[in-house]
């Protein structure tokens, strides 16, 4: 499946949280996450994400094109997430090993997700490996483009 997303580093997430709340986006979650990234020779990224929401832990495995460009607009292939249960947790390493993935890095962040219609905001505060805030707007191309264009002035002022 294709992912259409604007993603950029920002100085502060507060203006975007305010935008979401003012424009009646629904807050879907606020979680602390640890994400381990693995890469293979085919330039595919495997992501093992452990999230903690209200003392409930969830582990997800998914795959995505490894796109480290500085482009704000990213159009990548991405799989649907696979929820990992305790009884099949050990399978993750065997799958990654068989498909020749090697460990790349570990990220720690707090993620807030807002959504309205076909547009989703992912607001990330990274603690490691680098402290930074990242704004991502993803979803339906037409609607995401409209929202991004609406926010361009705020983004240029804020950065």
Distance (Å, whole) CA 84 – CA 141: 30
Average pLDDT of the residues in 3-22: 95
What is the pLDDT at residue 159? 66
What is the pLDDT at residue 67? 84
Query: For all residues of the chain together, what is the average pLDDT?
Result: 93
- Tokens representing 82 are 């696979």
Report the sign of the C-alpha dihedral through residues 9, 34, 81, 20, in that order: negative
Which CATH number among 1.20.1260.120, 1.10.357.10, 3.60.40.10, 2.40.320.10 corresponds to the domain 2-158? 2.40.320.10
């Amino acid at each position: 499946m294709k992912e259409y997303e604007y993603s950029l580093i920002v100085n502060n997430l507060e203006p975007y949280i305010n935008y979401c709340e003012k424009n009646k986006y629904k807050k879907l979650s606020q979680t602390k996450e640890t994400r381990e990234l693995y890469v293979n020779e085919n330039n595919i990224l495997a992501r093992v994400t452990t999230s903690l929401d209200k003392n409930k832990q969830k582990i997800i495995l998914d795959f995505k094109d490894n796109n480290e460009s500085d482009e704000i607009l990213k159009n990548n292939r991405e799989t649907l997430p696979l929820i990992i249960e305790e009884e099949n947790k050990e399978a993750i390493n065997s799958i990654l090993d068989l498909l020749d993935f090697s460990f790349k890095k570990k990220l720690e962040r707090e993620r807030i997700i807002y959504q309205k219609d076909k547009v989703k905001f992912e607001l990330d505060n990274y603690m490691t490996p680098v402290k930074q805030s990242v704004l991502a707007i993803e979803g339906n191309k037409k609607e995401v483009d409209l929202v991004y264009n609406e926010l361009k002035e705020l983004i240029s002022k804020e950065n």
